[in-house]
Amino acid sequence: MKLLFLACLSPQTGNHTTAERIRSHIESAGHTCELRDAAEFQSPAEVADLMSRNPPFEGALAIHLFRAGRLLLDIQVPFGVIFGGTDINEDVKVEQKRVVMEQVLLKARFAVAFTDQLKEEAELFLLSQSSKIYVQPQGIKTEVSETFCWTEFLRSSGASTEHVDELRVFLLVCGLRRVKDPLHLVEVFTEWHYENPLNVLVIIGPKIDAAFTVEVEAVVKRTAGVFLAQERSQQELHAAMKRCFAVVNSSVSEGMSAAILEAMDLGVPVLARDIPGNAAVVQHEFTGLLYSSPQEFVHQSHRLLSDHELRERVVRNGKLYVEEHHGLMQERETYQQLVDSNFSDREWGITSMHLP
């Protein structure tokens, strides 16, 4: 089958990485899957026109019900959708967006949520479509660049490399947009850095919101102990994560943070803000540490620094958790089954299979 796959494809973002991974799963089953950026299209009519060109597309997928899924409302072939965290955590609060998302969910053959919590939220806020919403966690695969230079990476971010082997680098991986709240820890981290200059915070991620990026750059420029690194390739990012002391998440809301799972897979401890999306994958003091305020972040960081048994436990359990619950093979089988069982029959109303 020839399928169209719409997603928000800002470079070096979790959405892009997830979309590429799912596309590869579908193509490995022998289908053709054309991945396109939802930002290329202004209306559902444009997508419907693309779908009808010869040879026509036989089905479609979208990540994010509002951002991409709304563009599929005029097509005449079956489609499936994948929830992003923004869908349920943010977009449902806007009535106009919520109505569109309900239309998308009603017309979709199936929907995929990364966690049970996201599925429950979808059922609560949108018209109940429980029978067509499946839960499939993200599959994780990490690959570390062999040519990555840690000293050069720190120097390029503006951090001092005088005592590079003694630095305790906390790496905050996020796209620069408000929902990721990269400035949440800046003030308290600066105070901590003054107490011990070896503790530094490096923020790394793509510049998604231009106006907000200017704000972040201005704050970081006048703040001691906090630095902003340019986005890197996935392999270089994983190499930086591997070398840092801990990976940090400070988001206001998350669907499922790939950076958290990648850190666990790489054997790096995680300090994540205590929000539902993070708590769904980070079990406090078992697979990582959760914090609910900047002050508690510093407290949990002190524990990670002083309690070697705690550090070893969360690293060990985090890696085991990813291996057991976020394998690529299960994710691949799920999407292949969903496509084959929902798109092979053109008659709408086909009953989707029950995933194991």
Q: What is the DSSP letter of 231?
A: P
Residue 351 lies in a domain: no
- Which pLDDT score is estimated for 350? 34
Same domain, yes or no, for 299 and 201? Answer: yes
Looking at the structure, tell me whether residues 124 and 181 fall in a common domain.
no
Q: What angle do CA 86, 127, 103 make, to 5 degrees?
A: 70
Specify whether 64 is located in the same domain as 44. Answer: yes
Position 352 in a domain = no
Residue 132 and residue 172 in one domain: no
Q: Are residues 96 and 239 in the same domain?
A: no
Residues 92 and 24 in one domain: yes
Asked if residue 356 belongs to a domain, the reply is no
| Judgement on whether residues 127 and 95 belong to the same structural domain of the protein | yes
Same-domain status, 308 and 244: yes
Q: Are 78 and 342 in contact (CB under 8 A)?
A: yes
Radius of gyration of the chain (CA): 21
**Per-residue pLDDT tens over the stretch 17-37:** 899 999 999 999 999 999 999
- Cα–Cα dist 34/180, whole Å: 29
> Does residue 350 form part of some domain?
no
Q: Is residue 354 part of a domain?
A: no
Domain match, 281 and 334 both: no
Residue 86 resides in a domain: yes
The answer on 156 and 126 residing in a single domain is no
Helix ranges (H only) for the chain are 14-27, 44-52, 85-89, 95-107, 116-125, 150-157, 186-195, 210-221, 234-243, 258-265, 276-279, 294-306, 308-325, 328-343
Q: Which domain holds residue 220?
A: 150-325
**Tally of structural domains, the chain:** 2
Question: Which residues, in sequence order, are CB contacts of 251 under 8 Å at separation 6+?
Answer: 174, 179, 180, 181, 257, 273, 275, 277, 278
- Nearest-CA neighbor of 63 among 19, 28, 99? 19
Residue 262 lies in a domain: yes
Task: Express each pLDDT in 91-127 by its tens digit.
Answer: 888 999 999 999 999 999 999 999 888 888 888 888 7
Model confidence band, residue 345 (pLDDT cutoffs 50, 70, 90): low
Q: pTM for the complete prediction? A: 0.85
DSSP string over 49-85:
HHHHSSSPP-EEEEESTTTTGGGGTT-SS-EEEE--H
Which pLDDT score is estimated for 199? 95
For residues 184 and 319, membership in a common domain is answered with: yes
pLDDT at 342 over 70: yes
Q: From the centroid of its chain, how far is CA 67?
A: 15
- Given a cut of 50, whether residue 351 has pLDDT beyond it is no
Domain with residue 83: its CATH number is 3.40.50.2000
The dihedral formed by the CA atoms of 150, 151, 153 and 154, expressed in degrees to the nearest 10 = 120
Side-chain half-sphere CA neighbours of 56 within 13 A: 10
Instruction: Note whether 209 and 316 are same-domain residues.
Output: yes
Residue 71 maps to a domain: yes
